[in-house]
Amino acid sequence: MIQKLKGTRDILPEEIKKWQYIEEIAKSTFEKYGYEEIRVPVIEKSELFQRGVGEDTDVVQKEMYIFDDKGGRSVALRPEGTAGVVRSYIENGMSSMPSPIKLWYAMPMYRYENVQKGRQREFNQIGVELLGSGSYLADVEMIEMINTFLEKLNIKDIELKINSIGCKKCRSEYMEALKDYIRPNLDKYCDVCKNRFEKNPMRIIDCKEENCKALNQNAPKSVDYLCDECKNHFENLKKMLEKQNISYSIDTSIVRGLDYYTKTVFEFVSKIDGLTVVGGGRYDGLVEELGGEKTPAIGFATGVERLIDVFDKNNPDFDKSNKLQLFVAYIGEEANLYSSKLVSNLRKKGIYVEKDIMERSLNAQFKYANKKNAKYIVTIGENEINTGKAELKEMETGETKEIDLSDIEDILKKQI
Ligand code: HAM
Distance between CA atoms of residues 393 and 400, nearest Å: 4
Kindly give the distance from the C-alpha atom of residue 258 to the centroid of ligand 1, in angstroms, as a whole number: 10
- The residue contributing the CA closest to ligand 1 atom 30 is 300
Residue 323: per-residue pLDDT: 79
Using the atom order of ligand 1, give the atom closest to the CA of residue 82.
27
The one-character DSSP state at 116 is B
Cα–Cα distances (Å) from 349 to 22, 23, 408, 409, in that order, read 23, 23, 11, 8
Predicted pLDDT of residue 275: 93
| pTM for the predicted model, two decimal places | 0.89
Ligand 1 within 6 A of 113 CB?
A: yes
Q: What are the angstrom distances between the C-alpha of 379 and each of 54, 336, 396? A: 64, 11, 17
Query: Which fold would CATH assign to domain 13-167+227-314?
Result: BirA Bifunctional Protein; domain 2 (3.30.930)
> Ligand 1 centroid to 278 CA: how many Å?
7
Q: How far is the CA of 406 from the centre of ligand 1 (A)?
A: 52
The answer to whether the CB of 301 is under 6 A from ligand 1 is: yes
pLDDT tens readout for residues 85-137: 999 999 999 999 999 999 999 999 999 999 999 999 999 999 999 999 999 99
CA-nearest residue for atom 23, ligand 1, is 303
The whole-number pLDDT of residue 322 equals: 63
User: Which pLDDT belongs to residue 318?
Assistant: 86
Alpha carbon 146 to chain centroid, angstroms: 10
Pocket flag, ligand 1, residue 280 (CB < 6 Å)? yes
Give pLDDT < 50 ranges for the chain.
Answer: none
Phi then psi for 48, rounded to 5 degrees?
-60, -45
CA 28 / ligand 1 centre spacing (Å) = 22
The dihedral over CA atoms of 395, 398, 404, 410, expressed in degrees to the nearest 10, equals -50
Could you tell me if the CB of 120 is within 6 A of ligand 1? yes
Give the single-character DSSP code of 33. Answer: T
pLDDT in tens, 363-382: 999 999 999 999 999 999 99
Give yes or no for a contact between 300 and 149, defined as CB atoms under 8 angstroms apart.
no
User: Residues of CATH 3.40.50.800 domain(s) within the chain?
Assistant: 326-415
Can you give the pLDDT at residue 320?
A: 67
Is the minimum distance from the CB of 303 to ligand 1 under 6 angstroms? yes
pLDDT score at 317: 85
| 3-state SS class at 154 | coil
Pocket test residue of 30, 109, 159 for ligand 1, highest count of atoms within 8 A of CB:
109
Q: Strand 74-77 and strand 122-131: pairing?
A: unpaired
Q: How far apart are CA 352 and CA 349, in angstroms?
A: 9
Report yes or no: 160 and 276 within 8 Å, Cβ to Cβ.
no
Query: Probe ligand 1: pick from 38, 60, 80, max atoms within 8 Å of CB?
Result: 80
Alpha carbon of 10 to those of 4, 61, 85, 105, 318: distances in Å?
8, 27, 26, 20, 20
For atom 21 of ligand 1, the residue with the nearest CA is: 119
Whether the CB of 257 sits within 6 Å of ligand 1: yes
Write down the pLDDT at residue 213. 92
- CATH 3.30.930.10 in the chain is located at 13-167+227-314
Rounded to 5°, angle at Cα 345 from 339 and 350: 125
What is the pLDDT at residue 416?
A: 58
The residue whose CB lies within 8 Å of the most ligand 1 atoms, and thus the one to mutate among 306, 308, 309, 310, is 306
Distance CA(176)–CA(170), nearest Å, equals 10
Which CATH number applies to 326-415?
3.40.50.800
Amino acid sitting at position 357: I
